[in-house]
Amino acid sequence: MIARIREDIAAARRRDPAARSGVEVVLLYPGLHAIWAHRLWHALWRRRVYLLARTGSQLTRWLTGIEIHPAARIGRRFFIDHGMGVVIGETAELGDDVMLYHGVTLGGRTRDHGKRHPTLEDGVSVGSGAKILGPVRIGARTVVGANAVVTKDSPADSILVGVPARPRPRTSADDSRALLTAADYVI
């Protein structure tokens, strides 16, 4: 458990150039607090303690501004930068090294039971305000631009921009952080 906490702190420091120290990250990063709380609520959910898990996730939402359903499956080194307004739905699945900026929604488009939220493979970065809706799969190392609305699957190593978002190939020279802030990819 201690190793995972250290790994989370290191991931935050690596991804946020404003992070000055590990102590600052531990004390002041609501995205990290939401992730740590989610791990507890997810463990309760898996043990079928549903009401307590949902109550805890709502308390975390109230404290951090980040809503993560306790049933959502989240990989390692997940980072939420400026997390206010992030919503992660019940059947969402996130791989390792995923990064979300504020205002991102990983939501559903139907009331049907079963898989209704997105799957983000390893290394996906999602820009501010982006909406990924429905049981879509976003391929590994894909960058979703700010305010994009994604409703269809995307291949690995692509860039998704626009409303509705359309993928374009990503070159090896494309830097994820630069792509998320470039004017060409902002609506």
Dihedral sign for Cα 144, 84, 4, 6, please: positive
**Nearest one of 119, 78, 113 to 99, comparing CA atoms:** 78
Return the pLDDT at 68: 98
Is residue 68 within a helix (H) or strand (E), and if so which, with residue range? strand 67-68
Return the pLDDT at 74: 97
Q: Mind listing the pLDDT tens digit for each residue in 39-86?
A: 999 999 999 999 999 999 999 999 999 999 999 999 999 999 988 999
Return the pLDDT at 90: 96
| Residues 9, 79 contacting (CB under 8 angstroms) | no
Domains in the chain, number: 1
CATH number of the domain residue 34 falls in = 2.160.10.10
Q: Mind listing the pLDDT tens digit for each residue in 137-157?
A: 999 999 999 999 999 999 999
Residue 70 Ramachandran class (φ > 0 left, ψ -120 to 50 alpha, else beta): alpha
Is residue 166 within a helix (H) or strand (E), and if so which, with residue range? strand 166-169
Structural domain for 114, as ranges: 2-185
